[in-house]
Amino acid sequence: MAPTSTPQTPFGRVLTAMVTPFTADGALDLDGAQRLAAHLVDAGNDGIVVNGTTGESPTTSDAEKAQLVRAVVEAVGDRAHVIAGAGTNDTHHSVELARAAQAAGAHGLLVVTPYYSKPPQEGILRHHTAIADATELPVMLYDIPGRSGVPLETETIVRLAEHPRIVANKDAKGDLGSASWAMARSGLAWYSGDDMLNLPLLSVGAVGFVSVVGHVVTPELRALLAAHLDGDVAKAAAVHRQLLPVYTGMFRTQGVMTTKAALALLGLPGGPLRLPLVGLSPEETDQLKRDLVAGGVHL
């Protein structure tokens, strides 16, 4: 059974978009994935997103994606939400991935706006509707125009929110005004998908985070959230400022690359990357160490 949820927080409040660990020879490391997922939940995550961008989903096979969902559900599915990325720029393929994720035991789906082909809003609407229609799982939209090339316009979000299984949005648009209107009009549960904007998005109505830096600072993210929920504006701002070096350092270059380097520094499963991503240079690794230490991470 999936962990309990509410309409306000259908996937909990603090989730980490998990990397996909690989072995030294580049194969899927299911044992490492289970250990990393357990570590993240022990640290305070309410949910784990697998097979997302941070999970190197463009380079994993459909079979590997299903294996990963099964492994992570087996490891933590009784105490954390396991959300499977199922979005591609091919609606038929996305529907197949969604059904496979449900069969593998996922508790929900993360569906990114179709990328590269730049469909119109009507195409985006039909794409998400087809995926939401394909399973019984709740769906979190993922609006990241910097990667997809096309934003989810507010009117599209409002229309998609009418679907009974579309319950949330991961916002990496970087537009607080647009987010404010979309939250107010759609009623969707809103999750920050841009770590630097975690606190600002909370301030306009977000309920939590789908984080990358959660790999290394989940307790601090929980402290930020708790301060905000308690109305302690000064403490929330102080935690935000404490985390600035981490927010910046983890995105000086491509986020999967820095995350796997950070996990290696902490002795946690991650392993190598699949091309076209590559490991950090020694200079980049040294800079990452400085950033993490400045943000309070104990290496």
Active-site option among 65, 115, 142, 260: 142
Mark whether 116 is an active-site residue.
no
Quote the percentage of the chain above a pLDDT of 90.
98
Mean pLDDT estimate for the chain: 97
Contacts (Cβ under 8 Å, ≥6 apart) of 218 = 14, 16, 40, 43, 44, 45, 211
The alpha carbon of residue 57 and the mean position of all alpha carbons in its chain are separated, in whole angstroms, by 12
Q: Are 125 and 154 in contact (CB under 8 A)?
A: no
**How crowded is residue 62: how many other Cβ atoms within 10 Å of its Cβ?**
12
**Is residue 259's pLDDT more than 60?**
yes
Quote the percentage of the chain above a pLDDT of 70.
99
Query: pTM (2 decimals)?
Result: 0.97
Active-site option among 65, 115, 170, 247: 170
pLDDT at residue 207 in the model: 98
DSSP, collapsed to helix, strand or coil, labels residue 291 as helix
**Is residue 179's pLDDT more than 70?**
yes
Strands 108-112 vs 139-143: parallel, antiparallel or unpaired: parallel
Mark whether 142 is an active-site residue.
yes
Helix/strand number for the chain, H first, E second: 12, 8
Predicted confidence (pLDDT) per residue in 65-123, tens digit:
999 999 999 999 999 999 999 999 999 999 999 999 999 999 999 999 999 999 999 99
Predicted confidence (pLDDT) per residue in 117-141, tens digit:
999 999 999 999 999 999 999 999 9
Q: How confident is the model at residue 5 (pLDDT cuts 50, 70, 90)?
A: confident
Query: 190-197: which pairs have CB atoms within 8 A and are 24 or more residues apart?
Result: 191/11, 191/15, 191/140, 193/142, 193/143, 193/144, 195/243, 195/247, 195/250, 195/251, 196/247, 196/248, 196/251
DSSP, collapsed to helix, strand or coil, labels residue 57 as helix
Closest residue by Cα to residue 83 from 58, 112, 60, 59: 112
CA geometry: angle at 256 spanning 251 and 262, to 5°?
Answer: 75
Tell me what the mean pLDDT of segment 215-237 comes to.
Answer: 98
Q: Are 235 and 217 in contact (CB under 8 A)?
A: no
Structure tokens at 277: 């991503």
Containing 63, the helix (H) or strand (E) segment is: helix 62-76
Containing 128, the helix (H) or strand (E) segment is: helix 121-134
Tell me what the mean pLDDT of segment 16-38 comes to.
Answer: 98
pLDDT at residue 69 in the model: 98
Tell me what the mean pLDDT of segment 248-263 comes to.
Answer: 98
pLDDT at residue 6 in the model: 84
**Is residue 148's pLDDT more than 80?**
yes
How far apart, in whole angstroms, are the C-alpha atoms of residue 20 and residue 28?
Answer: 8
Q: How confident is the model at residue 2 (pLDDT cuts 50, 70, 90)?
A: low
Please state, in angstroms and as integers, the Cα–Cα distance from residue 133 to each residue in 63, 98, 99, following that order: 22, 10, 10
